Amino acid sequence: MKDFSIFLFGVITYLLLIESQSCAADSVNPCCYYPCQNSGVCVRFGADGYRCDCTRTGYYGDNCTTPELWSRVRAMLRPRPAAIHYFLTHFQWFWDFINSCFLRDTFMTLVLTVRSELIPSPPTYNTKYGYLSWESYINISYYTRLLPPVPEDCPLPMGTKGKSVLPEPNVLAERFFKRKKFRPDPQGTNLMFSFMAQHFTHQFFKTNHDVQAGFTKALGHGVDASNIYGDDLVRQHQLRLHEDGKMKYQVVDGEMYPPTVSDVPVHMVYPKGFPPERQLAIGQEFFGIVPGLTMYATLWLREHNRVCDILKAEHPTWDDEQLFQTTRLIIIGEIINIIIEDYVQHLSGYLFKLKFDPSLLFGERFQYSNRIALEFCQLYHWHPLMPDSFLIDGDQIPYSQFMYNTSVLLHYGVEKLVDAFSRQPAGQIGGGQNSHEAVLKVAEMVIRESRATRVQPFNEYRKKFNLEPYASFQELTDDADMANALEELYGDIDALEFYPGIMLEKAHSSSIFGESMVEMGAPFSLKGLLGNPICSPHYWKPSTFGGETGFNIVKTSTLKKLVCLNTKWCPFVDFHIPRKEEESQRKESSSEL
C-alpha cells in the first residue's frame, strides 16, 4: 500500500508538472494582441496580464477606448482624411482667395501644427527597446520608432493574426511590385522630382547594413546638407577649397563640375575597377550611381560657390571658415524652402499654396529637434518613380548605360539633363506592380529590414495616424486579383506588413499614391523640416545668414532659381511635366482604354 501511494504521488506530480509546462507554453504575451487603442501604451504584468497606460491620450478604460468629453467632441467634428484631401484638391476659386489673403498664414500654421503633433519629440522607441529608455533617447545611432517593435515572444510573426510563416520577399516583389507596363503618375510627376527625392533624402536616410538592423550611419537626423558637404569633418575638409569659403571643383568646357576622386581622394561607391579619374567626388558616397544625382550635386556645388562670392563681396573681412559656415546655413535654408514650396507642394496636389515661414510657429508649442524614424525611412522607398529607360536630347538610354556613367553628365551638360528630366514622366508610386526590374531588389531589401526590426502591422500604423484600419484586402486595393493573392499569402488583413501595405494601397483619384502615404509621410516630413535649428527663433533672422542679402536668398529660393542662376541657359525646369505633354499623355491613356 505504501509503495502504491508513492507511485500515485509520483504520477500526480508528473501530471501537474506537464500541465504547468503546458500552461506556460500556452501563455501568450497579451501585448501581442495590440489591445491598447488611441496611442495607449501596453505594459505586461505577470505571465498573461497587462494594463494600458492612457495618460494624455484623451481616452480611458481598460483598453483606452472610452473617449473623454473633448475627445468625443473632436471625433464628432473632425472630418475624415479623405474628405480633407478632397477639399484641398478641389474648389480652385476658394483656394485662390485663401492664397491671396492673410488667411494663408492661418491655414499654413494649422497644417504645420496638426501634422507635427503626430510625431513624438523627444523620440520614444527604437529597435532594441520597445519601452521608453534613456538609451533610446541618447543613442542617435538608432533610427527612432513611432511604434514599438512586435514583441519577440508573440506566437505569430505579426502578433496573433495571420500565417505562421510570412511570404518570401522575392515572391512579394515579383507578384505585387514588378512592373507589367509602365504606369505614369497621373499627377504629372517627372524625373526631375524623382532625382530630387533621392538626392534630398539621402542626407538623412543612411541605413547601416553592416550592423543589426535599425541603425543609421548619418550623424545628423534632418536637413544638414551632408549630401553636399559630407557627413564628417574629414570628408568636408577634403571637399573644401579652403579659400573664400568655396568647395573644390573642376572646369570642363568652361563649366564647373565636382572634382574627380583622383584629385580629391574621398571614398565613393563605384563598381570595382572603376577608374578614379572618372569618379566624381561628392558629399554623399553613393551619388555616383546615376547621373540624376550627380546633376543635383553639380547644381548645389555651383550654388554654394555662387553664394560664397556674394558673401565675400559684402563681407571682405570674413575668413574662409566664416564664409563657408554661413554659406552652408544659406544652402540648408534654400533646400528647406524648395522642398516645402516646390517639392511638397507638387507632391500634395493641394490647391492651397504651402509657405515656408518659420515665424508662423513662434507662438506655438514646438520643439526644434528631430530624429529620423525607421518607418519614415521605409515608406520613402519610392522606386516605382523610375522609368523603363531615360530619354535625353533624343537619345534613349537604358539602365545598363545610365548607372555609374559619369560621362552622361559631362557629355550632355546640366542644362540638357534638367530639360530632359523635367519633360519625362515618372511612374505612379501607389497601387503596386510599377517597379522596374532594375530596382526590384530594393523592395525585397526593405521587406527583409522590416522583419528584422519587427515593424508592427500596417493597420496598427493606420490607427496611429487616426485612420480607420482596413477591414479586408479588398478594401485596401481595387485590384481583385491582388487582394485575393494577398489574402492567400497573409491570411488576415491585420497581419499585412507595413511596407507592402503602404505601397500596394489603392491611390487617390488622379494621384501619385494612396491615403496612408499622405497621412503618414506628411507629419514626418514637416516635423523634420520645421524642426531644423535654422527655423528656431534664435536662428531665423538676417544675421544668421550674413545679413538681408543672404536671408533673402533663403526666403526667395525656388527650383527654377537653383537651376537658372547656375547654368549658361535656362532650360525648362519643373517637378511637373509640361502641361501640353500631360494632356497628350492623358488622351493617349484614354485611347488605350
Count how many Cα atoms sit within 13 Å of the Cα of residue 516 in the half-sphere of its side chain: 28
Cβ neighbours of residue 97 closer than 8 Å, sequence gap 6 or more: 103
Q: In this structure, what C-alpha cell is assigned to residue 349?
A: 496636389
The conformation of residue 364, written as its DSSP 8-state character, comes to S
Choose, from 85, 199, 202, 508, the residue flagged as catalytic: 202
Q: What is the 3-state secondary structure (H, E, C) of 514-580?
A: CHHHHHHHHHHHHHHHHCCHHHCCCCCCHHHHCCHHHHHHHHCCCHHHHHHCCCCCCCCCCCECCHH
Cβ neighbours of residue 77 closer than 8 Å, sequence gap 6 or more: none
Is 399 tagged catalytic? no
| Residue 67 parent element (H or E) | strand 66-67
Q: In this structure, what C-alpha cell is assigned to residue 267?
A: 571614398
Choose, from 380, 461, 470, 499, the residue flagged as catalytic: 380
Cβ neighbours of residue 452 closer than 8 Å, sequence gap 6 or more: 212, 213, 214
Burial class (CB in 10 A: 0-12, 13-18, 19+), 391: middle
Q: Are 47 and 27 in contact (CB under 8 A)?
A: yes
Q: What is the dihedral of CA 58, 62, 66, 69, to 10 degrees?
A: -50
SS3 273: coil
Q: In this structure, what C-alpha cell is assigned to residue 358?
A: 518659420
| Residue 193 parent element (H or E) | helix 191-201
The conformation of residue 64, written as its DSSP 8-state character, comes to T
Alpha helices for 318-406 (secondary structure H): 320-338, 345-348, 374-379, 399-402
Nearest to 311 by CA among 34, 559, 542, 2: 542
Q: Are 352 and 107 in contact (CB under 8 A)?
A: yes
Q: What is the DSSP string of 277-327?
A: GGSB--SSTTTTS-HHHHHHHHHHHHHHHHHHHHHHHH-TT--HHHHHHHH
Q: In this structure, what C-alpha cell is assigned to residue 384?
A: 516605382
Cβ neighbours of residue 586 closer than 8 Å, sequence gap 6 or more: 186
Alpha-carbon distance of 538 to 59, in angstroms, equals 37
SS3 182: coil
Q: In this structure, what C-alpha cell is assigned to residue 335?
A: 533646400
Is 202 tagged catalytic? yes
Judging by DSSP bridges, how do beta strands 66-67 and 250-252 pair with one another? unpaired
Alpha-carbon distance of 50 to 27, in angstroms, equals 13
Nearest to 307 by CA among 575, 569, 557: 557
SS3 144: strand
Q: Which residues are catalytic?
A: 202, 380
